């Protein structure tokens, strides 16, 4: 019975909502985008729009490629050649593919040069590396977190620290994974395709799906009322629920004979003739998301019928971190996401959500 009750329990979720203006000196919007490293889906919704502007369309089409490398040894990510070629000459991101954060060993490379490993107890002890217990396993510790700073001045080939870590990954406990990698840099440099040519490497382009939603019932929002106001405007939480339904292509009219969804649009609402929905799926750089957010802000440089647009970003469910170096777990959902509501007066709402095994969003 206790097991059944546990299955029925709704896992804890955290939703942080705040409002600001893109013109404010202390606005956090750019920092929060840049420190959410591992993004797999980006969606934006523009009410009263049927065709994208040339600038937005170009940004969507130029999201950038990413790479899949099969059976890549972890020690390849700590060689001085890799560090000098990619880590020190741009922002390099890597994430193990098809690994479950709560069960498997997982690895992530952050753009600040930190290599984060989430290891099970046996692997952790076999590597002999220094780390700390995961904060999400209670008294029976089954996972450990190891952080290696590749940019540390003491992390060089002639140091004992470097030699010990390299020996651990190459000889004591060799670790191999399928990796997703991407790299943001300026200028013409070494390509990942040529660098990892001795391994099975494939270049991928993000998948882009666009649609025009007609006669869409939209919540009425007021930029100054984050909590909403009865019979006047909807709250940030209500909007996020509504967005989820729109992204799932759910019906919003609460038909009595529907066995799929009884959800309906929060009130008050208004019906827009058409709305443009675009979803990009892949391994998407924070730098590209910053450009997309900036362009959506410029959407209102000329008068528009739409009072607001949204930009939603979802992180990989099995990434070992959410924001910055905050430990991330899966449990029953694994979600870590954020959403911007961009108003025509340059005010914005920012909603950040994480699941049960996460710290509060920054």
Q: How far apart are CA 159 and CA 170, in angstroms?
A: 16
166 and 214 co-located in one domain: no
Q: Is the peptide bond before 26 cis (omega within 30 degrees of 0)?
A: no
Strand partners, 12: none
Q: Which helix (H) or strand (E) holds 247?
A: helix 236-247
What pLDDT is recorded for position 325?
83
Pick from 355, 277, 362: which is nearest to 316 by CA?
A: 355
- Name the stretches of the chain with pLDDT < 50: 1-8
57 with 76, same domain: the answer is no
Q: Please report the beta strands in the chain, taking only residues with DSSP state E, as ranges in sequence order.
A: 14-21, 39-47, 66-73, 91-96, 106-109, 114-120, 132-133, 143-149, 176-184, 200-204, 207-219, 269-284, 308-315, 336-343, 347-354
All residues at 6 or more sequence positions from 54 whose CB lies less than 8 Å from its CB, including other chains: none
Q: Is residue 114 assigned to a domain?
A: yes
Residue 22 is assigned to a structural domain of this protein: yes
Number of separate domains in the chain: 2
Same domain, 214 and 306: yes
Domain of 117? 66-204
Helix (H, G, I), strand (E, B) or coil at 91: strand
Give the pLDDT of residue 4: 44
Contact 276, 210 (CB under 8 A): yes
pLDDT digits (tens, 9 = 90+) for 42-92: 999 999 998 888 999 999 999 999 999 999 999 999 999 999 999 999 999
pLDDT reported for residue 335:
80
198 and 225 share one domain = no
Q: What is the pTM of this model?
A: 0.91
Pick the last residue of a domain from 187, 204, 221. Answer: 204
191 and 60 part of one domain: no
State whether 239 and 316 are in the same domain: yes
Q: Which of 179, 204, 229 is the last residue of a domain?
A: 204
Choose the final residue of a domain: 204, 238, 268.
204
pLDDT at 255: 65
């Amino acid at each position: 019975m206790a097991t059944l009750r546990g299955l029925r329990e709704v896992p804890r979720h955290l939703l942080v909502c705040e409002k600001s203006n893109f013109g404010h000196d202390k606005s956090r919007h750019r920092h929060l985008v840049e420190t959410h490293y591992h993004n797999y889906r980006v969606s934006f919704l523009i009410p009263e729009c049927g065709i994208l502007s040339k600038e937005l369309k170009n940004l969507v089409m130029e999201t950038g490629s990413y790479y899949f490398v099969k059976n890549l040894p972890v020690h390849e990510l700590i060689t001085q050649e890799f560090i000098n070629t990619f880590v020190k000459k741009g922002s390099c991101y890597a994430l193990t593919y098809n690994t479950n954060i709560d069960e498997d060993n997982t690895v992530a490379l952050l753009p600040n040069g930190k290599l984060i490993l989430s290891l099970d107890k046996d692997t952790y002890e076999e590597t002999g590396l220094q780390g700390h217990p995961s904060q999400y396993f209670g008294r029976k510790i089954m996972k450990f977190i190891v952080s290696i700073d590749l940019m540390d001045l003491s992390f060089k080939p002639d140091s004992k620290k470097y030699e010990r870590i390299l020996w651990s990954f190459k000889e004591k406990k060799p670790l191999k994974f399928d990796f997703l990698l991407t790299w943001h840099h300026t200028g013409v440099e070494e390509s990942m395709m040529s660098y990892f040519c001795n391994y099975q490497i494939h270049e991928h382009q993000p998948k882009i799906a666009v649609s025009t939603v007609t006669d869409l019932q939209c919540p009425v929002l007021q930029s100054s009322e984050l909590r909403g106001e009865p019979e006047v405007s909807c709250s940030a939480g209500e909007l996020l629920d509504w967005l989820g339904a729109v992204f799932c292509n759910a019906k919003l009219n609460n038909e009595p004979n529907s066995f799929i969804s009884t959800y309906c649009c929060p009130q008050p609402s208004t019906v827009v003739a058409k709305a443009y929905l675009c979803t990009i799926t892949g391994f998407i750089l924070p730098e590209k998301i910053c450009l997309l957010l900036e362009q959506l802000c410029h959407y209102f440089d000329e008068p528009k019928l739409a009072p607001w647009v949204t930009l939603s970003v979802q992180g990989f469910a099995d990434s070992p971190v959410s924001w910055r170096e905050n430990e991330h777990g899966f449990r029953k959902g694994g979600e870590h996401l954020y959403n911007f509501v961009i108003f025509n007066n340059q005010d914005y709402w920012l909603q950040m959500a994480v699941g049960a095994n996460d710290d509060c969003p920054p």
